[in-house]
Amino acid sequence: MATVKTLIYLVIYPGLLFLFLYSTFVEWYDRKLYARLQNRMGPTHTGRFGLLQPIADFIKLMAKEDIVPDRADRKMFSVLPAVGLAIVFTAMLLLPVWNYSLDQPSAISFNGDLIVVLYLLSLPTFIFFLAGWSSTNLFSTIGGARVLTMLFGYEVPLFLSVLSPAVLADSWRLAEIAAFYRQKPALALVNLLGFIVALICVQAKLERTPFDIPHAETEIVGGTFTEYSGKKLALFRLMMDAEMVVAAGLLATVFLGGFPGGVFLGLLNFIIKTLFVIFFLSLIRATTSRIRVDQVVSFAWKYLAPLAILQLLIVILVKGLIS
């Protein structure tokens, strides 16, 4: 029985199949919302309400010619998209989306899995950097350099703001943090500031406007992905969508009380809460313009990092008061 459960967990929910379908749905949701905010229609033709458009795009890209530049590091260039996708899918397995019980809410749950998820979410950034660097294209190289420069800006505020709810809950385990805030929903309000900081950092991590600097098309063409085409580009795009799901799931677990209620209610909870987070991400994307890479770093250290530290202080104070 345990084996079957593990298999279901890996392959169907919340593993490969679910994450693939849900990532494409999230891309549709993001595109549609973005389009409606801009007074456009968005995807309409493929499937009902254009729901199948991301899948159609994926299949189309898979069928396209796949070109590897002569001067690129062939092995590195080819293996990066698959490695990146594997990393993001692994991170998904750590989210407590299926509550068998508090002891075993996900395939692997242990004290400190919060740190592992954060670590796994940092790796895609390096994948993007390596992708840009191994393409040996000028635009990709600049894109790769920008990826790393931005990382120095948003990574510390993101860690600080995600860890402060954990400090309040007195646990480094995702399932326990979620359970803590379900029992005391009023305390979740304490983390409001951290939630806002984390939202902005996640937006930067996902490289969406105003932080879409590494692949700013009007400046450096495709940025890190300039030389990528066909299957590899399709995998990269899927990876970015999946990363959005995982990042939204992480924020929902830590700040919004997780996904209680077993298989079906838990699934419903997961969808509602991640879409709630992604709604804000789309809103930020539609209402801002792209800023410069130096502005990202100064913004992150001038505003985001102090706010995250302030959040930590608030949490410590509140913790002193309630205990």
Residue nearer to another protein on the CB measure, 15 or 222: 222
Candidate residues 8, 37, 76, 116; the one interacting with another protein per rule CB under 8 A:
37
The distance of closest approach from Cβ of residue 276 to another protein in the complex, given in angstroms and rounded to an integer, is 21
Residue nearer to another protein on the CB measure, 170 or 294: 294
Residue carrying structure tokens 């919340």 = 14
The distance of closest approach from Cβ of residue 294 to another protein in the complex, given in angstroms and rounded to an integer, is 8
- 60: number of Cβ within 10 Å: 11
Is residue 163 within 8 A of residue 250, CB to CB? The reply is: no
CB contact set of 202 (below 8 Å; sequence gap of 6+): 158, 247, 248, 251, 277, 281
Q: Which of 246, 250, 275, 277 is nearest to 85 (CA)?
A: 246
- 291: number of Cβ within 10 Å: 15
Is residue 220 part of the contact set for another protein (CB under 8 A)?
yes
Dist. CA 194–CA 126, nearest whole Å: 25
Interface residues for another protein in 276-295 (CB under 8 A)? 286-295
Candidate residues 219, 229, 280, 309; the one interacting with another protein per rule CB under 8 A:
219
Residue nearer to another protein on the CB measure, 141 or 164: 141
The distance of closest approach from Cβ of residue 88 to another protein in the complex, given in angstroms and rounded to an integer, is 25
Name the segment binding another protein (CB under 8 A); options: 14-22, 32-40, 48-56, 69-77.
32-40
Cα separation of the two ends of the chain = 42
42: left (phi over 0), alpha (psi -120 to 50) or beta: left
DSSP state of 74: H
Candidate residues 102, 108, 138, 272; the one interacting with another protein per rule CB under 8 A:
138
Name the segment binding another protein (CB under 8 A); options: 13-21, 31-39, 62-70, 314-322.
31-39
Q: What is the dihedral of CA 281, 283, 284, 289, to 10 degrees?
A: 130
Encoded amino acid at 39, one letter: N
* Helix pair angle (53-63, 230-256), 10° resolution: 140
Number of residues that bind another protein (CB under 8 A): 27
96: left (phi over 0), alpha (psi -120 to 50) or beta: beta
The distance of closest approach from Cβ of residue 162 to another protein in the complex, given in angstroms and rounded to an integer, is 24
CA 293 centroid distance within chain = 20
DSSP state of 212: -
Is residue 183 part of the contact set for another protein (CB under 8 A)?
no
The distance of closest approach from Cβ of residue 303 to another protein in the complex, given in angstroms and rounded to an integer, is 11
The distance of closest approach from Cβ of residue 38 to another protein in the complex, given in angstroms and rounded to an integer, is 4
Residue nearer to another protein on the CB measure, 205 or 285: 285
Residue nearer to another protein on the CB measure, 231 or 292: 292
Residue nearer to another protein on the CB measure, 220 or 254: 220
Is residue 231 part of the contact set for another protein (CB under 8 A)?
no
Name the segment binding another protein (CB under 8 A); options: 116-124, 159-167, 186-194, 210-218.
210-218
What is the contact surface with another protein in residues (CB under 8 A)?
37-40, 138-139, 142, 209-210, 212-213, 216-221, 286-295
